[in-house]
Each structure stands twice: as C-alpha cells, then as structure tokens.
Amino acid sequence: MPIVPITTLGERLIASPVPHCVSDGVRVPVDIRWQDGLPPEAPMLFEQAGPRKTLYFEPEKTCAGIVTCGGLSPGLNNVIRSLFLQLYHGYGVRNILGFRGGYVGLDPARGEAPLVLNLDIVENIHKHGGTILNTSRGPVDIPTAVDNLIRLGVDILFTVGGDGTQRGSQELFQEARRRGHPLSVIGIPKTIDNDVPFVSRTFGYATALEQACIVIDRAHTEAHCVKNGISVVKLMGRTAGFIAVGATLASQDVNFCLIPEVPFVLDGPDGFLAALKRRVLARAHAVIVVAEGAGQSLMAEAGAGRDASGNAKLKDIGPFLRDRIEAYFKTEGVPAVMRYIDPSYLVRSCPANPEDAIQCDLFARHAVHAAMSGRTGMVIGFVNDHFVHVPIDLLGTQKKQVNPDGSEWRAVLACTGQPARMVA
C-alpha cells in the first residue's frame, strides 16, 4: 500500500498530557470508491491527524510561532485563537509568538517585533474578521528567516496561508533541515476559493457562500424590479469556480454561472450574449455570477505577470463583461438596465460563521497535535471527513477544480437553465 510518508524530527520520548490519542498506524484513503468491489490499484493513504501518546517537544520548554499570509479569509482569527488555546491549555506551552505582517515579520530588518500572545489578547479575536497579526503577500529571504527563528528559540512555526504561503513553508522546512535544526513547520491551508488538493473544504468557504448568497439576493432584486434588468456579480475564484458554483446552487436565483473550468465565447448564435438576450426577452431579467478567473482568454493581455505571492495576474472579467453586455444590447436595440456588483473584499473580510468557526478550530488543533509530536514539512488536510497529514510538496502535484462533467456542474446547468455549451 502506498502510504504517504511524513517527515519527523526524531524519537518521541515525552508522555503527552492529551488523552484519547490516535495510533500512528491509522491511515485514511483518498479514494473510497471501489469499482466492482475491488480496491483502487494504487490507493493513496494519509496518516490520520490527532494527538499522539508521546511528544517530541517538551511543552514547558517549547516556543511556538504563528504567521498569517496572503489575502484575508473568514476565520483567520479563529485559527490563531485555537492554535494558542490548544498550545496553552492542551499542552501547557507558555511561549507563543505571533509574527506580524505575513512573512515580512520573520525578517527582523523588515518587520515588526513579534507579538507575545496571551489569554487577554486572544480572548475575543474570533468575533472579528481579518487577522490580528496582519498579513501581506510576498516571500521572505529564507536563510534570514531561519536565522531569526533560531535566534528567537522558535521550535514550531504554524504557517496559515494559501499556495504561496505553503511554498514558503516548504522552503523554511528544507532550510532548517539542511542546517540540522529541529524546526517543526506545519501549514494550515487557507483559501476561500476551496481549491486546495487533499482538502475537501477549506475554512472560510462556507462563510464566503453565505455572504455571496446575500449579495446575489440583492442583485436578483435589482434585476427583477426593472424591465430587462441584468445584474452581474463577480465572485472570487482564480482557477477554480467553487464559490460561484456553490453560491449559484445555494441561492437558486442565478441564470448564468461562468467559471474558469468551462470555456465560453461571447459572440455568435451559440455564444453567451445571444443566450443572455434570449433569457432577457423571455423573462425580462437575468442574474449572472462570474468567477474572477473566468473568460481570461476573451481579454487582451490576460494574465500578464505575477503578483507578490507568485500568482498569475488576472484581467478584470467583471467590468469587461458588463461593458460587452451593455454594448451588445444597445446594438441589438433591446433596452436593458445593468447592475454590476463586486463584493470580493466584503466577502473575505467578515467573521467566520459557526460552520467555519468549527472548521477553523479543528484545523488548528490538529496542527498543534502534529507539531508537538515532532512532525514537520506538512499541512493539515481534510479528506473523507477525516483530518490528515499531507506533505507540503504534495500540494503542488494536483489541481482541485470543478469537474465540468461532474454532478455539481450538472446541478448548476439544471438550476440556471443556461446552455451546457456557449462556444463557437
């Protein structure tokens, strides 16, 4: 059986204060579907996350650090609080630092001094959006960061962030290992786009859907209360349309859902604009949800360059689509009233809802358990309703996207009534 290995720092000799421990031998399969009663030919098996009977780090001598990077997501403060409380109450760790301003905070020449976390600081942070540690995009000089972590006596570093953050985590882990320094680097994947492989639902995604549905409801009202009203709502989703798809299915008020995984054209009898005109003439209104990464090939100079996190820069599909719709209906002689809404920053900066708050808490606690047992170079995954240990470098080997041939996209087609293909 191909068991996915996890790097450990060494022998565990310290009895854990946490009861109900998980055996090191428990594995969780990624694929639970068996064709004709036969197991997959090459099943991937992950270690189940959870507390272990013995620890690598001695709690009273341990120093842990937390850093939050990249864009905001609902639940960041929840994760910080739960990391702190599990370390403090669960294991008795008293030295817990919060590095401020993203990875910049790991460089003493560029960032502020770390915040020494305590019970008073974290008491109410989960009730607010954003992150008390602040955040930023972009890398840090890895040798400098490791020098600083060693100088501060940091044994464990929790990195909360998306693709770019976890690439940085891998580099920090590798640099510490090259030096023979026992640093546990544990990633907690963060993106409201829900596009992290080996994570069936990232924290913040449920809150994003809830907030997106509120916006779609308002957009539907705007479109419905005028003749030939058309509302365009742009939602996040750079390479994956999970938010757009989820919000479409949850709201049931969307007539067109446009995502990166399903190409479309604007012009021609089978294009999007003609389909939109047919909808408006038949029903006198339309609501369109578009993911930010959809339709990039339709715009000139799409994807020119990369941002500070290493992500390809996107052209703005929202205003482009709005302007093309307005021009098309004017040319066709069909009066229409356009509304364009981009709630991206409102969606990602709000507090986590109860479902996400629980998810944040579980991600954080499992990260602490993994770190205290001496595991490193890994992130917490979530497959088949089980939290698991995933090597950081494995994240880059797969892409998680909406399946255009899957049941979720077929449900979108059924509830919107949009054509299955809007291509030339």
- Does the active-site annotation cover 155? no
Residues contacting residue 258 through CB under 8 Å, at least 6 positions apart: 241, 244, 264, 272, 288, 289, 290, 291, 294, 295, 317, 321
Helix segments in 72-162, DSSP class H? 76-85, 119-122, 142-152
Q: How many CA atoms lie within 13 A of 1 on its CB side?
A: 16
Is the backbone of residue 269 left (phi > 0), alpha (psi -120 to 50) or beta?
alpha
- The amino acid present at 213, given as its one-letter code, is C
Q: Report the distance separating Cα 119 and Cα 94, nearest Å.
A: 10
Write phi, then psi, for 163 (nearest 5 degrees).
Answer: -55, -50
Q: Nearest CA to 220 among 317, 339, 336, 346?
A: 339
Residues contacting residue 309 through CB under 8 Å, at least 6 positions apart: 69, 70, 137, 138, 162, 163, 164, 165
Torsion of CA 373, 125, 122, 72, to 10 degrees: 50
In this structure, what token pair is assigned to residue 379? 């992130």
b or e along 351-383 (b: 16 or more beta carbons within 10 Å of the residue's beta carbon)? bbbeebbbbbbbbbbbbbbbbbbbbbbbbbbbb
Residues contacting residue 177 through CB under 8 Å, at least 6 positions apart: 7, 376, 377
Q: Which residues in 14-122 belong to E strands, given as ranges?
A: 14-15, 27-29, 45-48, 54-55, 63-68, 95-99, 115-116
Q: Indicate which residue of 155, 163, 193, 195 is catalytic.
A: 193
Distances in Å between the Cα of 394 and the Cα atoms of 217, 291, 299, 381 are 39, 26, 33, 11
SS3 35: strand
DSSP-assigned states of every residue in 328-375? HHHHHT---EEEEE--HHHHHTSPPPHHHHHHHHHHHHHHHHHHHTTE
Query: Catalytic residue positions?
Result: 193
